[in-house]
Amino acid sequence: MSAPPISRYPVPTLAELPDDIRARILDVQEKAGFIPNVFVTLAHRPAEFRAFFAYHDALMEKEGGLTKAEREMIVVATSGANDCLYCIVAHGAILRIYAKNPLVADQVATNYRKADITPRQGAMLAFALKVAVASSEIGEEDFTAVKAHGFSDEDAWDIGAIAAFFALSNRMANLIGMRPNDEFFVMGRVPRVKQTDPAPRKS
Amino acid sequence: MSAPPISRYPVPTLAELPDDIRARILDVQEKAGFIPNVFVTLAHRPAEFRAFFAYHDALMEKEGGLTKAEREMIVVATSGANDCLYCIVAHGAILRIYAKNPLVADQVATNYRKADITPRQGAMLAFALKVAVASSEIGEEDFTAVKAHGFSDEDAWDIGAIAAFFALSNRMANLIGMRPNDEFFVMGRVPRVKQTDPAPRKS
Amino acid sequence: MSAPPISRYPVPTLAELPDDIRARILDVQEKAGFIPNVFVTLAHRPAEFRAFFAYHDALMEKEGGLTKAEREMIVVATSGANDCLYCIVAHGAILRIYAKNPLVADQVATNYRKADITPRQGAMLAFALKVAVASSEIGEEDFTAVKAHGFSDEDAWDIGAIAAFFALSNRMANLIGMRPNDEFFVMGRVPRVKQTDPAPRKS
Amino acid sequence: MSAPPISRYPVPTLAELPDDIRARILDVQEKAGFIPNVFVTLAHRPAEFRAFFAYHDALMEKEGGLTKAEREMIVVATSGANDCLYCIVAHGAILRIYAKNPLVADQVATNYRKADITPRQGAMLAFALKVAVASSEIGEEDFTAVKAHGFSDEDAWDIGAIAAFFALSNRMANLIGMRPNDEFFVMGRVPRVKQTDPAPRKS
Amino acid sequence: MSAPPISRYPVPTLAELPDDIRARILDVQEKAGFIPNVFVTLAHRPAEFRAFFAYHDALMEKEGGLTKAEREMIVVATSGANDCLYCIVAHGAILRIYAKNPLVADQVATNYRKADITPRQGAMLAFALKVAVASSEIGEEDFTAVKAHGFSDEDAWDIGAIAAFFALSNRMANLIGMRPNDEFFVMGRVPRVKQTDPAPRKS
Amino acid sequence: MSAPPISRYPVPTLAELPDDIRARILDVQEKAGFIPNVFVTLAHRPAEFRAFFAYHDALMEKEGGLTKAEREMIVVATSGANDCLYCIVAHGAILRIYAKNPLVADQVATNYRKADITPRQGAMLAFALKVAVASSEIGEEDFTAVKAHGFSDEDAWDIGAIAAFFALSNRMANLIGMRPNDEFFVMGRVPRVKQTDPAPRKS
């Protein structure tokens, strides 16, 4: 059996890509040891690619009250609610590495109520999931609930905006049939082994 | 009664904004005659603002098999499914103007099956709504259905990507409590009157 | 393009109608300046027409703790939940006029949580929407909630009965494909302009 | 234990009622041997009572392509979808009697796919249930489906209008906590025993 | 018309069955006066039959804080939520007999909020229904709610386990199209008449 | 941090258990190298334990048209639909081993449409999921669909019965808060490494 396609759409070769996009992809490849399929599949549309990763970095690389692991928890939990295979598997791997916890990604993708997380993180995920699946019902009481756990208003924006950005990301992955790289399925599952950070970085 | 707030978050003054963002906003203001609230409310986060509008323009300003009115139809129909007041009202106004049709926005926001649109547009909106509300169930049969109406694979990406981008946009508007400008509610409702195009433009 | 049909069923001419129905319709026409399509499309079944409008008047024209604008808010909010184009558009127009507010109809049809209404009106619409979409779960706590805002038991009946009547009305409009008159889309959107009251009246 | 209340609202005595309403109730009592609670509980609002039963009779007593038993099947199936205890129990009794079938009411209230009914009746109930729970999605294909079983357009109106009227009726019963008379639970369950017809009749 | 089939699958004769299964069925027949169809239809698979009834007896025949009638209430309420005709009708009959109440089964199958049950039983059914339809959301607050009504932790297991077992049972009945015996529809509806207990018993 | 509890209920020691249950557990431990938590947590109720595993073995260890890997696929897909962490993780591990495929479990748990499975297996999972989430809508067309892929009627029973049994199992795991053993998360993810079969076996 030949390898299954990683997208319903044509996947450009690195040589075909604009310089800035190729540079970013080579940078990721160097750090992660392979190229996550989200990069090459979305590169079919360079302008959308640039906006997508600029938005991603603005939310996932910024300073603030959320750790990197917590940001990935939001991605994995909301992608679970949207049944997005690519994001659950790829960001699940990143979450395992950031959290140094081989179990938490599968837990959070399935049911955050049963995950080994803090009550504060549980409140964070409840807020994120409401943005993901019932955003029109968001009200002051939801902000009050996360602020009772020490999150600021800016943190609440971060939580909600990550959920909102992955609402886009999940739909794009489902639309084009984006396939997760095989590497992601096992990455970070054996905690003592040193792993290279696969997360996109600006610098 | 004082004017209701347009966001749960602080709204920057033009003077406070980075030059590129202020320039874009002034450009919109000149064309539309007022500043749509999405610009000043999202400007609270400049990096996210830049990515948001870059993404918006990449999808809404590009060439392709969809007219500008059809792109706005997708926005209005999927925002209706997400109960997003800002996007229904603001993009409903833009749709009325582009389509030169004072009725179609309310029709499409409520129930595209009863709208004065072509069967091809109906198929487009059915595809867009599936991406908006059940993207994990998208399959080859959905592509086949839109292609039977003459849409290309690239058009299908456009349809789905607009639905995906407004999945993000709707959630951000609901998160921050973004309020539509009063001007949008009536804009384009009286077709003979010449109206200025309020849509964001690159050049 | 010829005008689209206003019903899937035959629409009687005024001359064909029983005298009492024709008289009512002429009365409405005189007050509103045009004949709302609900009158002529439902007149296909005279016995049902008479019962429908008798019920409508019993709920919408009666005295009680709800203003006329509040009654229309209930119609618009529950019709929004049922995706009924005719009722959203026609009663949205009536609501704008009664409330002397060009924005409130679109707000309430989409998401009452973001409408420019009082907390009391918000509680009223929450009760109405529960009757509209989950009536089997109505319990004492729902009555307690509206009574905490000063509504009486009889007001609660009014709220619930309007929601119940438009559950019927929305389904009839969707069944027969009732089309809203073009006039309703723009009516009441410019508040200073004097408008004729289109609401059905007994005397 | 005292008898449970039959309504959340005051229930008028016969003496208190307007003559026409009292006459109708006495007529029903004579035929059925008891007064179904829907009559006395809705009589709390005489104007609504009159409209309700006028509407009921216009749909349930008319001539047409549906038998009386089929009309009651629609009531029972859609009331099952709305979890309306009063209508399931009271109209279930009437259905058993009209159909001379002690089993069909419980079957249809739970799952019409497993009921001892004809394929034509199955198509009728599928149409009715779509009007009851997803009326905004009704399209030409739904009319085609019932017409393939020999129903006319007017029959389709009857099917849909009965579903629509009981959307109202179910919500009123749930709103006021209408309790079915004990008599209905057992009526018509032993088919050989002669039973009096409890259905409201005009003449 | 010949009798409708009681299963989509072959139904063994008593003579074909293994001795232990035939003995159990004969025992039930002696007590109930007829053989409930669940016995002969599931006997198509003897190993599954034995496990099914062992599980049933372990939950329904055990000692504990729930009466036999309360156990049947759980069966009927959760089978109502799953639209399982066999279980609603057969266990509804058993519930009427155990509770010596001809009304409670139809009430509980439709809407436990309107049933003639105690607040403690209402809390029991709310817990059972959450296990039946949203078990992943079960949390400590649900245990707290039933314990506030005097249920022990072991009682909560019983409530939840009965709901879980009938999640299986309902799906099997729907899968094979299991038809309730005609006898069950009327059993226990006239309380003064002495009825034989149809419930499976160990000794 | 101490190890999190594996059940909301007391977990018996091996010494406390009846001989037959202890023997089964020791047997599993010898084969798998550890004791899956489902055994010790359900052993809190010996009679239910015996019935549970008898049912499990009757469905999962039998001969028939489904491979062992296919049976586990059904478990994982339906447990995904029920958000049951224990069953997704534990049976996901077993599926990876039986299928000798480190990716298929995460794929099937999230979205079988995107899994590396055959069209026949896709039809099998569509049938199983309908039994899991909408069993009252199962009809002849569903049997026709799986039989078109070569499944027999008995295979269809197997598919549906496994889905039904895990409807029970998922609810029990969610009820008692059953925690998957850490070992399951990584088992079978590196295909070349020889792994011990953790699946319960009779002999």
> How far off is chain B from D112, nearest CA to CA, in Å?
28
Which residues, 6+ apart, have CB-to-CB distance to C150 below 8 Å?
C65, C120
> How far off is chain C from B100, nearest CA to CA, in Å?
14
For residue D43, what are its two tokens?
């009589």
In this prediction, residues A73-78 reach a mean pLDDT of 98
Chain A partners of C113 at a C-beta cutoff of 8 Å?
Answer: 136-137, 139
Task: Identify the pLDDT of residue B3.
Answer: 74
Interface residue ranges in chain C relative to chain E, Cβ cutoff 8 Å: 136-137, 139
In this prediction, residues F150-179 reach a mean pLDDT of 98
- Could D114 and E177 be called an inter-chain contact, meaning their C-beta atoms sit closer than 8 Å? yes
- Could D55 and C45 be called an inter-chain contact, meaning their C-beta atoms sit closer than 8 Å? no
Task: Identify the pLDDT of residue E192.
Answer: 47
> How far off is chain A from B195, nearest CA to CA, in Å?
30
pLDDT of F191 over the 90 cut = no
In this prediction, residues D172-195 reach a mean pLDDT of 86
What pLDDT band is residue B190 in, cutting at 50, 70 and 90? confident
In this prediction, residues D15-36 reach a mean pLDDT of 97
Q: Which tens digit of pLDDT belongs to each residue from A9-65?
A: 999 999 999 999 999 999 999 999 999 999 999 999 999 999 999 999 999 998 999
Closest CB from F102, F110, F189 relative to A85: F110
3-state SS of D98-157? HHCCCCHHHHHHHCHHHCCCCHHHHHHHHHHHHHHHHHHHCCHHHHHHHHCCCCCHHHHH
Asked whether D76 and D90 are in contact (CB, 8 A), the reply is: no
Q: Establish whether chain C is in contact with chain F, requiring a minimum of 3 CB pairs below 8 angstroms.
A: no
Chain B and chain F share a number of CB contacts under 8 A equal to 4
In chain E, which ranges are continuous DSSP H helix?
19-32, 37-42, 46-60, 68-81, 85-99, 104-110, 119-134, 140-147, 153-176, 182-186
Largest CA distance in chain F: 54
> How far off is chain C from E15, nearest CA to CA, in Å?
48
pLDDT of C191 over the 90 cut = no
Can you tell me the distance from the alpha carbon of E73 to that of E103, in angstroms, rounded to the nearest whole number? 12
Can you tell me the distance from the alpha carbon of E95 to that of E121, in angstroms, rounded to the nearest whole number? 14
> How far off is chain B from A164, nearest CA to CA, in Å?
5
Can you tell me the distance from the alpha carbon of A151 to that of A122, in angstroms, rounded to the nearest whole number? 12
Task: Identify the pLDDT of residue E190.
Answer: 81
- Could B54 and A50 be called an inter-chain contact, meaning their C-beta atoms sit closer than 8 Å? yes
Q: Which tens digit of pLDDT belongs to each residue from C100-153?
A: 999 999 999 999 999 999 999 999 999 999 999 999 999 999 999 999 999 999
Q: Establish whether chain B is in contact with chain E, requiring a minimum of 3 CB pairs below 8 angstroms.
A: no
Q: How many residues are there in chain B?
A: 203
Give pTM, 2 decimals: 0.93
Interface residue ranges in chain A relative to chain E, Cβ cutoff 8 Å: 111, 113
Chain C partners of A137 at a C-beta cutoff of 8 Å?
Answer: 113
CA dihedral E90, E92, E93, E98 (to 10 degrees): 130
pLDDT of A169 over the 70 cut = yes
> How far off is chain E from F193, nearest CA to CA, in Å?
34
Asked whether D129 and D77 are in contact (CB, 8 A), the reply is: yes
What pLDDT band is residue C3 in, cutting at 50, 70 and 90? confident
Asked whether F72 and F120 are in contact (CB, 8 A), the reply is: no
- Could B106 and C83 be called an inter-chain contact, meaning their C-beta atoms sit closer than 8 Å? no
pLDDT of C201 over the 60 cut = no
Largest CA distance in chain A: 54
Name the residue among A160, A196, A156 with its Cα closest to residue A64.
A156
Closest residue on chain C to B185 (Cα): C103
Is D191 exposed, middle or buried, given 0-12, 13-18 or 19+ CB atoms closer than 10 A?
Answer: middle
What pLDDT band is residue F200 in, cutting at 50, 70 and 90? very low
Task: Identify the pLDDT of residue B192.
Answer: 47
Which residues, 6+ apart, have CB-to-CB distance to A161 below 8 Å?
A59, B45, B48, B172, B175
> Which residue bears the tokens 């703790």?
C65
Can you tell me the distance from the alpha carbon of B159 to that of B67, in angstroms, rounded to the nearest whole number? 11
Can you tell me the distance from the alpha carbon of B195 to that of D44, in angstroms, rounded to the nearest whole number? 54
Q: Which tens digit of pLDDT belongs to each residue from A76-130?
A: 999 999 999 999 999 999 999 999 999 999 999 999 999 999 999 999 999 999 9
Chain F partners of B143 at a C-beta cutoff of 8 Å?
Answer: none
- Could F110 and A88 be called an inter-chain contact, meaning their C-beta atoms sit closer than 8 Å? yes
Phi/psi class of residue A88: alpha, beta or left (left: φ > 0; alpha: ψ in -120 to 50)? alpha
Calculate the CA C45 to chain-centre distance. 20
Asked whether E112 and E60 are in contact (CB, 8 A), the reply is: no
Among E135, E146, E155, E169, most F C-beta atoms within 10 A, so best to mutate, is E135
Q: Which tens digit of pLDDT belongs to each residue from B151-182?
A: 999 999 999 999 999 999 999 999 999 999 99
Chain E partners of C139 at a C-beta cutoff of 8 Å?
Answer: 113
Can you tell me the distance from the alpha carbon of A153 to that of A163, in angstroms, rounded to the nearest whole number? 15
Interface residue ranges in chain C relative to chain B, Cβ cutoff 8 Å: 4, 80, 83-85, 88-89, 102-103, 106-107, 109-111, 114, 116, 177, 179, 182, 185-186, 189-190
Rounded to the nearest 10 degrees, what angle do helices C153-176 and D119-134 cross at?
Answer: 120
Q: Which tens digit of pLDDT belongs to each residue from C70-102?
A: 999 999 999 999 999 999 999 999 999 999 999
What percent of chain B has a predicted confidence (pLDDT) above 90? 90
Task: Identify the pLDDT of residue B2.
Answer: 64
Interface residue ranges in chain D relative to chain B, Cβ cutoff 8 Å: 136-137, 139
Task: Identify the pLDDT of residue E12.
Answer: 98
Among F107, F113, F130, most B C-beta atoms within 10 A, so best to mutate, is F113
Task: Identify the pLDDT of residue C178.
Answer: 98
Closest residue on chain E to F86 (Cα): E136
Q: How many residues are there in chain D?
A: 203
Chain A and chain B share a number of CB contacts under 8 A equal to 117
What percent of chain A has a predicted confidence (pLDDT) above 90? 90
Count CA atoms within 13 Å of residue B64 on its CB side.
21
Chain A partners of F85 at a C-beta cutoff of 8 Å?
Answer: 106-107, 110-111, 114
For residue A116, what are its two tokens?
């080994």
Among C113, C125, C130, most A C-beta atoms within 10 A, so best to mutate, is C113
Closest residue on chain F to E137 (Cα): F174
Chains with ≥3 Cβ pairs under 8 A against A?
B, C, E, F
Amino acid identity for residue D10 in this structure: P
In this prediction, residues D36-58 reach a mean pLDDT of 98
Interface residue ranges in chain A relative to chain F, Cβ cutoff 8 Å: 4, 80, 83-85, 88-89, 102-103, 106-107, 109-111, 114, 116, 177, 179, 182, 185-186, 189-190
What pLDDT band is residue C2 in, cutting at 50, 70 and 90? low
Chains with ≥3 Cβ pairs under 8 A against B?
A, C, D, F
Q: Which tens digit of pLDDT belongs to each residue from D124-161?
A: 999 999 999 999 999 999 999 999 999 999 999 999 99
Task: Identify the pLDDT of residue D190.
Answer: 81
Name the residue among E182, F73, A71, F174 with its Cα closest to residue D107.
E182
Chain D partners of B109 at a C-beta cutoff of 8 Å?
Answer: none
Residues of chain E where predicted confidence (pLDDT) is lower than 50? 1, 192-203
Q: Higher-confidence residue: D193 or C147?
A: C147
> How far off is chain A from B174, nearest CA to CA, in Å?
6
Which residues, 6+ apart, have CB-to-CB distance to C122 below 8 Å?
C112, C113, C115
Task: Identify the pLDDT of residue C190.
Answer: 81
Cα distances from A20 to residues A45, D87, D145, in angstroms, run 13, 67, 56
Task: Identify the pLDDT of residue F2.
Answer: 64
Closest residue on chain C to E110 (Cα): C136
Q: Is the C-alpha dihedral spanning B85, B89, B90, B96 positive or negative?
A: positive
- Could C139 and E111 be called an inter-chain contact, meaning their C-beta atoms sit closer than 8 Å? no
Task: Identify the pLDDT of residue D11.
Answer: 98
Q: Establish whether chain C is in contact with chain B, requiring a minimum of 3 CB pairs below 8 angstroms.
A: yes
In this prediction, residues B107-121 reach a mean pLDDT of 97
Chain F partners of D113 at a C-beta cutoff of 8 Å?
Answer: 136-137, 139
Cα distances from E185 to residues C187, D73, D186, E84, E114, in angstroms, run 57, 17, 10, 14, 21
Among B143, B146, B168, most A C-beta atoms within 10 A, so best to mutate, is B168
Can you tell me the distance from the alpha carbon of B70 to that of C198, in angstroms, rounded to the nearest whole number? 33
ipTM of the complex: 0.93
